[in-house]
């Protein structure tokens, strides 16, 4: 299978006052084109570092990051990013905020076409009518939706989401999960999402990668039986409960609170392929 994102044996450490702090220690991950991988792991295990590596904002000390058959050494316009903090520019209207990437990335679209695309994306996430509003006039969930539109405006191949819904209340978050599925259907992308929410990971992703504690490597990979759009009800099935239990256990292992041996090599559910690496 052709992988759009390939991360091979990446090592990275930060220079701190007290010496080198290893963050990633032989981390591996692959995402096929059109795939959606959720990365979970204990706090401070280097999840955000991982997004910066894929975006080309950082370089690994050793190992390789490949994107669409090319090694990543610097930022590239084929990536879209959205963070927990929606970082909308308060002095611009929502429409102008969303069109911001098109001022950087070369585009063949005319001004009118750019605006049309921005309006289309806004309607996709249910924000039609808010084009001329200021970010301060929007609720947290609405801002996050606008941030998602901005990440997609230049039709990136890869969408990187760093805890995009982490600051939202539970109901708003479920709304946005649904919107994510809708958006991915109409605006296909290959996604990598960092999250702390295990339910979110199994509801949105095709595959969940558990990072070990710092320095992080790939500890566990869970392939989901259902991929693509799915009903929120799938979260309330015995299979989902099993998967959540396994992921919870893996997080505890990563935190060093549970022995690793117990779940070694065990498949998460009868129909799934889980593997320890």
Q: Rounded to the nearest whole angstrom, what is the least distance from the CB of residue 258 to other proteins in the complex?
A: 33
Query: Residue 167 interacts with other proteins (CB under 8 A)?
Result: no
Do the Cβ atoms of 207 and 175 come closer than 8 Å?
no
Stretch that binds other proteins, among 21-29, 72-80, 168-176, 267-275 (CB under 8 A): 72-80
**Beta-strand relationship, 158-162 and 190-194:** parallel
**Single residue of 100, 109, 244, 258 touching other proteins by CB under 8 A:** 100
- Annotate 160-179 with b (16+ C-beta within 10 A) or e (fewer): bbbbbbbbbeeebbbbbbeb
Residue 160, helix vs strand vs coil: strand
Query: Residue 75 interacts with other proteins (CB under 8 A)?
Result: yes
| 241: enclosing H helix or E strand | helix 238-255
Query: Residue 91 interacts with other proteins (CB under 8 A)?
Result: yes
Query: Residue 232 interacts with other proteins (CB under 8 A)?
Result: no
User: Given the complex with other proteins, which of 89 and 170 has the nearer CB atom?
Assistant: 89
Stretch that binds other proteins, among 74-82, 108-116, 190-198, 258-266 (CB under 8 A): 74-82
User: Given the complex with other proteins, which of 154 and 214 has the nearer CB atom?
Assistant: 154
Query: How big is the site for other proteins, counted in residues (CB under 8 A)?
Result: 26
Neighbours of 49 (CB within 10 A): 22
Query: Residue 53 interacts with other proteins (CB under 8 A)?
Result: no
Residues that bind other proteins (CB under 8 A): 52, 55-57, 74-77, 79, 81, 83, 85, 87, 89-91, 100-101, 103-105, 134, 136, 150, 154, 160
């Amino acid at each position: 299978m052709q992988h759009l994102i390939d991360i091979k044996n990446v090592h990275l450490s930060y220079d701190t006052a007290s010496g080198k702090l290893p963050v990633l220690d032989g981390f591996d991950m692959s995402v096929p084109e059109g795939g959606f991988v959720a990365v979970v792991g204990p706090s401070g295990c280097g999840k955000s570092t991982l997004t910066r590596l894929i975006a080309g904002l950082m370089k690994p000390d050793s190992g390789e990051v490949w994107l669409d058959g090319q090694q990543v050494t610097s930022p590239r316009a084929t990536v879209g990013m959205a963070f927990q903090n929606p970082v909308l520019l308060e002095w611009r209207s929502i429409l102008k905020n969303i069109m911001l990437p098109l001022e950087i990335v070369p585009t063949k679209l005319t001004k009118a076409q750019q605006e049309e695309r921005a309006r289309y994306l806004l309607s996709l996430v249910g924000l039609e009518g808010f084009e001329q509003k200021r970010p301060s006039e929007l609720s947290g969930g609405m801002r996050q939706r606008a941030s998602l539109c901005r990440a997609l405006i230049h039709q990136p191949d890869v969408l990187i989401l760093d805890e995009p819904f982490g600051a939202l209340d539970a109901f708003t978050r479920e709304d946005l999960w649904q919107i994510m599925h809708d958006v991915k259907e109409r605006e296909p992308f290959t996604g990598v999402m960092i999250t702390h929410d295990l339910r979110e990971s199994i509801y949105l992703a095709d595959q969940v990668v558990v990072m070990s504690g710092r320095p992080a490597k790939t500890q566990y990979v869970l392939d989901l039986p259902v991929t693509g759009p799915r009903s929120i009800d799938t979260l309330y099935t015995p299979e989902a409960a099993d998967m959540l239990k396994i992921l919870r256990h893996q997080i505890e292992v990563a935190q060093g609170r549970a022995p690793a041996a117990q779940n070694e090599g065990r498949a998460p559910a009868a129909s799934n392929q889980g593997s320890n690496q």
